[in-house]
């Protein structure tokens, strides 16, 4: 009669030492307190309160997580063309003298991208736009209005005045 033998790793689940006897025997870092903050004193239990006081002894410290990145909401010219009738019926697009005014800022978009063809004249208000998008809208007879962003220009530092050189002493 054959015995179905289970795999060793499944048989040893729940076993703390997996057949190696006491914890000391198969640790690979010496028999007492090797590696990782090694030793930490004569008797480990006695030194624990001292270790707890030192905030930097255990665990990670000293790194600030980076702030959350702001996601740029983008829209392509293709999307505006496809949604044109819907946006017009919702009064998100206003027509004036054959030119359609679109305020992408109010619609929650930050950037206009240039994928797709432009078939109508658009005046588009948006925080930023790609060069391709601006070019395509311009060729169709419209324009992209981007608010001017003031660039912080550092003030020029005053140049230090050269100190007068002392004249060499002449021996008499």
pLDDT tens readout for residues 34-50: 777 676 655 656 667 77
- The predicted pLDDT at position 45 comes to 66
Quick one: pLDDT band at residue 147, thresholds 50, 70, 90?
confident
Residue 125, in any domain of the structure = yes
CA distance 47 to 55: 14
Whole-model pTM over 0.75: no
CATH value at residue 115: 3.100.10.10
Q: How many domains does the chain have?
A: 1
Which contacts qualify for 10-16: CB closer than 8 Å, 24 or more apart?
Answer: none
Please tell me which residue, 166 or 134, carries the higher pLDDT value: 134
CA distance 153 to 20: 69
Residue 111, in any domain of the structure = yes
CA distance 117 to 119: 6
Residue 106, in any domain of the structure = yes
Quick one: pLDDT band at residue 130, thresholds 50, 70, 90?
very high
65: pLDDT strictly greater than 90 = no
Quick one: pLDDT band at residue 135, thresholds 50, 70, 90?
very high
Residue 98, in any domain of the structure = yes
Quick one: pLDDT band at residue 134, thresholds 50, 70, 90?
very high
Pick from 142, 104, 94, 153: nearest CA to 120: 142
In this structure, the strands spanning 128-129 and 122-125 are unpaired
Reduced to 3 states (helix: H, G, I; strand: E, B; else coil), residue 50 is helix
Residue 102, in any domain of the structure = yes
CA 113 to chain centre: 22
150: pLDDT strictly greater than 90 = no
100: pLDDT strictly greater than 80 = yes
- The predicted pLDDT at position 9 comes to 93
Q: What is the largest CA-CA distance in the chain?
A: 122
């Amino acid at each position: 009669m054959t015995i179905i033998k289970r795999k060793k790793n499944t048989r040893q689940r729940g076993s703390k030492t997996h057949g190696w006897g006491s914890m000391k025997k198969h640790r690979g870092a010496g028999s007492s307190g090797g590696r990782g903050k090694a030793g930490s004193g004569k008797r480990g239990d006695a030194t624990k309160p001292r270790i707890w006081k030192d905030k930097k002894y255990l665990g990670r410290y000293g790194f600030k997580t980076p702030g959350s990145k702001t996601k740029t909401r983008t829209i392509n010219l293709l999307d505006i063309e496809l949604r044109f009738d819907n946006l017009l019926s919702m009064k998100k697009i206003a027509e004036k003298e054959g030119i359609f005014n679109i305020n992408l800022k109010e619609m929650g978009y930050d950037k206009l991208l240039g994928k797709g063809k432009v078939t109508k004249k658009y005046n588009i208000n948006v925080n930023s736009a790609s060069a391709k998008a601006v070019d395509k809208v311009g060729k169709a007879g419209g324009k992209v209005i981007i608010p001017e962003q003031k660039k912080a220009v550092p003030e020029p530092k005053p140049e230090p005045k050269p100190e007068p050189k002392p004249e060499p002493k002449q021996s008499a």
